[in-house]
C-alpha cells in the first residue's frame, strides 16, 4: 500500500525523495495492527517506538487544535523502521541507512540501477555510471518550516566517486521524474498532518504541529 506525501519521507528521508516520495512509511488506519504483525518474532523494538510516534502525529493532526509539544524521532528509530518488514522500498532500492546532522541528512543507499532503468540501455555516456548494483551516498539539505518542506540534493557519490551534476540531472530527468513528477534534485512540498516545522539535528528529527 503506497501513501503519497508521508511524514517521514516528506521530512526526513530525502534520499528516498530522490527515488520516490510515495514510500509507504505511514500506512493508513491499520498501521498499528500491521506493524505489530510484521514484528512478530523479530527484534525491531525501535521501529515499534517510531510507529507509536507516527501514530501520535497522525492522531494529533485530527484535532482542531493539535498539541504543539514537539515529537522527537531518533536516527536509530528511523533506521530500524527502514530495516523492518513494514517498509516496501521503491524498485531498485535494496537498503537504506540515514544519518542526520544540523539541517543535513546523509543517505547511504544500496541501489540496483538496472532495476530502476527497467533494463533499458542508453548509448549516452552520461548514463554509463548508472548501471549495476552500487552503494550510493546522497547528501542533502532538508528543512521544514511554515508548513513547507524543502529538500536540496547537495551531492551524490557512487561507490565513493562523486557523480557530475549534469549526469545526475540527466538521470533524474530520464528515469525518476517520469515516474514521480514532483521529484527532482530540488523538491518543495506541503508538509502533511498539520506539521508546522521539522528540524533535522544530530541523529534526530524534531517535529512540531499546530
> What percent of the chain is predicted at pLDDT more than 70?
78
Task: Of 163, 201, 179, give the one whose Cα is nearest residue 118.
Answer: 179
pLDDT of 42 strictly over 80:
no
Which pTM does this prediction carry? 0.78
Find residue 133's DSSP bridge partners: 112
Instruction: Tell me the pLDDT tens digit for each residue of 23-38.
Output: 333 333 334 434 444 4
CA angle in degrees (0–180, nearest 5) for 139-71-36: 90
pLDDT digits (tens, 9 = 90+) for 130-146: 889 999 998 888 888 99
Amino acid at each position: 500500500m503506497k501513501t503519497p506525501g508521508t511524514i517521514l519521507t516528506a521530512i526526513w528521508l530525502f534520499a528516498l525523495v530522490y527515488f520516490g516520495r510515495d514510500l509507504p512509511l505511514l500506512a493508513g488506519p491499520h498501521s498499528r495492527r500491521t506493524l505489530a504483525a510484521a514484528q512478530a518474532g523479530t527484534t525491531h523494538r525501535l521501529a515499534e517506538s517510531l510507529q507509536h510516534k507516527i501514530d501520535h502525529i497522525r492522531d494529533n493532526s485530527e484535532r482542531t487544535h493539535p498539541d504543539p509539544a514537539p515529537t522527537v524521532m531518533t536516527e536509530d528509530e528511523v533506521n530500524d523502521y527502514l530495516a523492518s518488514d513494514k517498509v516496501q522500498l521503491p524498485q531498485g532500492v535494496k537498503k537504506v541507512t540515514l544519518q542526520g546532522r544540523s539541517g543535513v541528512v546523509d543517505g547511504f543507499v544500496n541501489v540496483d540501477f538496472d532495476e530502476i532503468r527497467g533494463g533499458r540501455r542508453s548509448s549516452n555516456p552520461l548514463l554509463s555510471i548508472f548501471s549495476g548494483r552500487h552503494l550510493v551516498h546522497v547528501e542533502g539539505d532538508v528543512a521544514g518550516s511554515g508548513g513547507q518542506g524543502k529538500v536540496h540534493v547537495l551531492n551524490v557519490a557512487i561507490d565513493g566517486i562523486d557523480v557530475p551534476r549534469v549526469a545526475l540531472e540527466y538521470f533524474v530527468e530520464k528515469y525518476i521524474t517520469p515516474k514521480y513528477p514532483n521529484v527532482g534534485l530540488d523538491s518543495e512540498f506541503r508538509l502533511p498532518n498539520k506539521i508546522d516545522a521539522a528540524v533535522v539535528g544530530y541523529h534526530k528529527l524534531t517535529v512540531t504541529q499546530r
